[in-house]
Structure 1
């Protein structure tokens, strides 16, 4: 099967998942404690976020999706247009297809030609050579590089990698050999605390936890198998909220993606410590079912509603959401208990006199 056909299959199977999804995931097991006097004035709210020396005007980005075929090139054109019109960052899909077939370069390059002044992230896998990583960055004039790690996708992939032992060393080589910040991301199975703690020593600047709950690439690759005999890997890994809880106090910049369905999920992830939050499948569904104007409207609405949530919660910046009280429920709470994470600390973050005084604008 050609690389272009595989890319088209990924989009088709991802859309089948989107249309069949039950709608619930572990973001529903995180809720804000409502403080009725916490609200602030909307003009005092900023969506700007800064992490690892990177500054974005909003804590939202269009995460890695596709590229490598005529159909996916058209999708990338529309995604880039939406990023340009809304001011959010955008990541390329895996650029491995370009390394194998340079004739598909324009299906990735369009991310920059349609979005000349935006923040664009290139995307390679952990087996890419340093030279190919540089080629990917140069092709789209990328501001940063995502390296995706995806053992749970590769395993059922008919033509997938089966040698994972060299990945960490290769990530270190890439990070040392490129001139832009390197972000390591999963593809929907999550990054554990242990994995995140290993990244700074490899020269990585940021981690995107990319948890389960959204597009399931193990399911997609199993759907491409004649026998579908890896169904036991469906749903593998940790959710984005679980990853963020697991990574509390690691002292390393985190992004969150995987199962982000609405602005409330964005606020939840920010409150759990993410510097910015990405969405892929939901934005792709809007684009496929509608058009680029529908996607622009959706992202614009999300940005407005994220600011509205910050206003109601008393968070002048996205980072201030980490001071809001959260309740952790259900299986997510069970996960925390098993991993030794005290969920009570999240429920009592604004309980000090100083925090309450600032929340209400009063003085002692």
Structure 2
């Protein structure tokens, strides 16, 4: 019963925050992943997310996040995901790097998307790119960093632990020979208290590649988003070994210990305040790990910042999720979602949608 009362309070809170004091809460929509999915679908232009500020610039990584959000929403969005798939097939080189460039994290993320829709990641796109081979080549065989992904780029190496997590899932799903090494290196990035750090060791020659070999306040600082992504990707693996299961258990325990009393999460060192990006990812991770009580608490906090009234400055934005309270209030009371803020709303909604799928405890437990 307290859950029903809390959800009713959420609707009322969203109405008040929007400054719609004359509109009865009873006329507001219920918070839901379906509403968020509907809004996300409207953000696609021919299957891609086009920048609102910079027309003609397409964000392939955010487009894939939208696809993941649509999949996790449990809404019937097959046509939208098909459109994303079709659009990305013509942009493989743009996103993953055209030879001689090769971006490990992007390649891994795209490969996971292709695998998630039942596509062939060994022959994807208009040029039939073998994403698995391309990714496999970005996994180091050097003794000190065996299993670590690396970019091949004139602009530097920006590979990180989030990309490593996607790489592990892609390579494990494909059954490649480097999958175990990649997994082993990912697990090294988990710190003693259970969180995963964001960045690898700066050196590629030192043997100290593990998390706690670095300064816990800098290179090994806690990062909610990275920890959540690691849980999501590791949980998706089939035939997990005991070490992997223990890593997931420790990471989930860390997330639960760092969840705020209102259900929210902050991110890493630069996004410590409560926000729907980090809470969305953490709630998603808690859900797939079957920590459904904590997942529902995260979902209910995220739902506070979902647009539930198709009126006022937010007319036409039903279902969108703001990044945080200030972002919601500014949009609801004065500006609406502007070209300057739309991409932030898109990123927040894409990562919040999977968490909203846990609003109903039974749905989380059944997933």
TM-score by length of 2: 0.29
TM-score by length of 1: 0.30
Report the structure, 1 or 2, having the larger strand content: 1
Report the structure, 1 or 2, having the larger helix content: 2
